[in-house]
Amino acid sequence: MVAMLDRFPRNTPLDQGPPLPPMHRLVFVTGPSGAGRSTTVRAFEDMDFEVIDNLPLRLVTRLIEGTPSGRPIVLGLDVRNRDFNATALIELIDTLTRNPQVALEVLYLDCAPSELIRRYSETRRRHPLAPFETPTEGIAREIDLLMPVRVRADHLIDTTELSVHDLKAEIARLFGRNTTDALAVSLQSFSYRRGVPRGVDMIFDCRFLANPHWVPALRGRDGRDGAVADYVRADGRFEVFFEKVRDLILFLLPAHLGEGKAHLTIGFGCTGGQHRSVAMVEMLGTSLAEAGWTVSRRHRELERRSAGATLAGADGVMQP
């Protein structure tokens, strides 16, 4: 997935000729019900985008009749819109794309049918396309209905394996409007058994280090625990590994900053995503912060475990 924010021109005068007129900046957010649209539009709100949810399609063109407000507008669109029609939405996308005063991006949230069924079973909600049938029928109809829109999307995010936190991080990575010259570094731990996380720029494998899982007193703890971190650090290979990785990243960060990147995500994986990778993220995060970089630390498997302990409908469970 590649961000396309360069399509949003900067409203500053050119060296020659009159200044460019301000443009309307629009982001359409769509996808099957249950794929995380509500979470996504809230993430845009947190980034100070102007969000309008379930606006009838016939009213969208009115948004570009006046002078742009200066804030990008995010429109949440799905089958629950009063006059939703996939053909009409495609025609609207084509019309806006041809308009020189509009910068439009389409974000499609995808999700495996089996996961959508699971989410509906947890929330016990009726599907908007199958109010008197099982959600399975409605999900199949909606995916088929939206297929032409999916093909036209500028960005496609598969939320099947994403937690709410993962999805918000991906939205921030793709659409974050950081106007400073700082580079935000995200360090993430994960389990190889659950697959490599999406949107990671570089990955380091920590599975060769001594595994605290085999120490009964440490098995139930995680890499944020001092005793676990000490055990990992005691491996004779750790110090060299840590120093080489730290020095490599410190060498690369200014280069990425010089290329204009605003975010860089680095993953550290181990077998279970609980001990070695977590300890590495914590220690490296501290080291990079001490070197003056803005660093965030996330632990995918620990977040999943925390989310799984909550009831359906809590913040850690994606809602339709």
pLDDT tens sequence across 206-257 = 999 999 999 999 999 999 999 999 999 999 999 999 999 999 999 999 988 8
- Are 272 and 191 within 8 A, CB to CB? yes
Q: Within this chain, do residues 129 and 230 fall inside the same structural domain, yes or no?
A: no
Q: What mean pLDDT is predicted for residues 121-149? A: 81
Q: Within this chain, do residues 279 and 204 fall inside the same structural domain, yes or no?
A: yes
CA distance 276 to 269: 8
Residue 223 lies in a domain: yes
pLDDT over 90 (residue 135):
no
pLDDT in tens, 173-195: 788 754 344 678 889 999 999 88
CA distance 146 to 313: 26
Q: What mean pLDDT is predicted for residues 259-285? A: 91
Amino acid 5: pLDDT: 38
**Sign of the dihedral through C-alpha 281, 194, 113, 143:** positive
Q: What is the pTM of this model?
A: 0.54
Q: Classify burial at 102, counting beta carbons within 10 Å of its beta carbon; exposed 0-12, middle 13-18, buried 19 or more.
A: middle
- Are 157 and 163 within 8 A, CB to CB? no
Residue corresponding to tokens 């990575």: 173
Q: Within this chain, do residues 37 and 170 fall inside the same structural domain, yes or no?
A: yes
- Are 78 and 84 within 8 A, CB to CB? yes
Looking at the structure of the chain, the number of domains it has is 2
Q: Within this chain, do residues 162 and 42 fall inside the same structural domain, yes or no?
A: yes
Show the domain range for 239: 184-308
* 57 secondary structure, DSSP code: G
Q: Within this chain, do residues 275 and 247 fall inside the same structural domain, yes or no?
A: yes
Q: What mean pLDDT is predicted for residues 99-111? A: 88
- The helix (H) or strand (E) run that includes residue 73 is strand 73-76
Within 13 A of 141's CA, how many CA atoms are on the CB side?
Answer: 14
**Sign of the dihedral through C-alpha 232, 234, 236, 237:** positive
Residue 282 lies in a domain: yes
Q: Which residues pair with 25 in a beta bridge?
A: 103
Q: Within this chain, do residues 156 and 262 fall inside the same structural domain, yes or no?
A: no
pLDDT in tens, 24-83: 889 999 999 889 888 999 889 888 889 988 888 888 888 877 777 778 899 988 877 666
Residue 319 lies in a domain: no
If you average pLDDT over each of 64-68, 123-127, 288-292, which comes out highest?
Answer: 288-292
Last residue of a domain, one of 157, 175, 193: 175
CATH of the domain at 156: 3.40.50.300
